[in-house]
Structures are given as structure tokens and as C-alpha cells.
């Protein structure tokens, strides 16, 4: 899963920080302080990127961003990635630890589970989520809680 990051321009105003994304028309937010502005920037970017498309504009290099004196120009990752990356990390870690604990390779686990190696690779890359039945089978074989695959379901 490749992260999507964009430069944001943080303008210090009298009592707040105005945040705008030069590459994303209309993607503007603010925060009462710098921390809140960073959090709001992640949320604004998430909202702007909600339209499911593979054709997001390319981020402008930081050196080409127009700025005024006192502006900050960090790269911002959408807020949605915090949860997704954590979940994917936990899944990868659980599977790898389980394989090590059982002394299995990924290929051996696939044979035992009766699945194609590409299926497990897709799970590890975050491309797919296994069915509940397959999640149970993988978790039983590798000795971890299958709920890790469905953390998003519990949040809803």
C-alpha cells in the first residue's frame, strides 16, 4: 500500500493556522494551534481523496511550492492512513510471527490452507481481506486472533 502524501502550506494567522493544499483545489482547513492544524489537514486531505479514483494529481515538489515568510510546508498524509497502516502492520506481524513460531514458510502455509500463494501475498499487502472462514483458518494455523483482519468492522 503506497502512501499518498501532499505538501500543505500552513499560514500563521492572528489566532489560527490556515492550511491549504496547492495541488488540491478547495482543500483548505484551519486549526487554532499548530497541532490542531496538522490533525485537521489530515482530515481535510482524507475528505478530498474520498472520491475513489486512481488519478489524483501528482504532488508538487516542496522546492516548487510558493510560500510567504513564516509559512510551514510539510508533507501531509490523509488521516485514514493512520488506522489502515496500523491494521496492516498488525496483520503482517501476526502472520510472520505465526509462520516463525510454526516453522513454516509462506508457501508451506498456503499448501496447508489450500490457497494460492498470491492470495496470501494479497492479504499481506492489504489488497484483500480474507473471508471470515479463511481468516479463522489462517489464525488457527498461525495462532493469533482472527479479529485482527476485521478491525474496521468493529469501529462501525
Per-residue pLDDT band at 46 (split at 50, 70, 90): confident
Distance of CA 21 to the CA centre of its chain: 19
The pTM (predicted TM-score) of the whole model is 0.51
Residue 47 has pLDDT above 90, yes or no: no
Q: What is the pLDDT of residues 9-26, one digit of tens each?
A: 999 999 999 999 999 999
In angstroms, what CA-CA distances link 97 with 86, 142, 153? 16, 8, 24
Domains along the sequence of the chain with CATH: 6-78 (3.30.160.250), 81-155 (1.10.260.40)
How many alpha carbons lie under 13 Å from residue 38 in its C-beta half-sphere?
Answer: 8
Distance from C-alpha of 70 to C-alpha of 79, rounded to nearest angstrom: 25
Q: What percent of the chain has pLDDT over 90?
A: 54
- Compare 126 and 138 and report the one with higher pLDDT: 138
- Mean pLDDT over 82-108 rounds to 85
Rounded CA-CA distance 148/156 in Å is 15
Q: Residue 156: its pLDDT value, please?
A: 39
Amino acid at each position: 500500500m503506497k502512501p499518498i502524501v501532499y505538501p500543505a502550506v500552513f499560514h500563521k494567522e492572528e489566532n489560527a493556522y490556515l492550511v491549504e493544499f496547492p495541488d488540491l483545489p478547495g482543500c483548505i482547513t484551519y486549526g487554532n494551534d499548530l497541532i490542531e492544524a496538522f490533525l485537521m489537514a489530515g482530515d481535510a486531505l482524507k475528505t478530498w481523496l474520498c472520491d475513489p479514483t486512481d488519478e489524483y494529481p501528482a504532488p508538487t515538489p516542496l522546492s516548487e511550492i510558493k510560500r510567504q515568510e513564516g509559512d510551514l510546508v510539510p508533507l501531509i498524509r490523509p488521516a485514514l492512513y493512520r488506522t489502515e497502516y496500523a491494521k496492516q502492520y498488525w496483520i503482517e506481524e501476526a502472520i510472520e510471527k505465526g509462520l516463525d513460531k510454526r516453522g513454516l514458510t509462506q508457501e508451506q502455509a498456503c499448501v496447508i490452507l489450500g490457497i494460492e500463494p498470491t492470495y496470501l501475498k494479497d492479504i499481506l499487502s492489504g489488497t484483500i481481506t480474507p473471508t471470515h472462514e479463511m481468516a479463522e483458518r489462517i489464525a488457527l494455523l498461525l495462532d493469533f486472533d482472527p479479529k485482527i483482519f476485521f478491525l474496521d468492522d468493529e469501529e462501525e
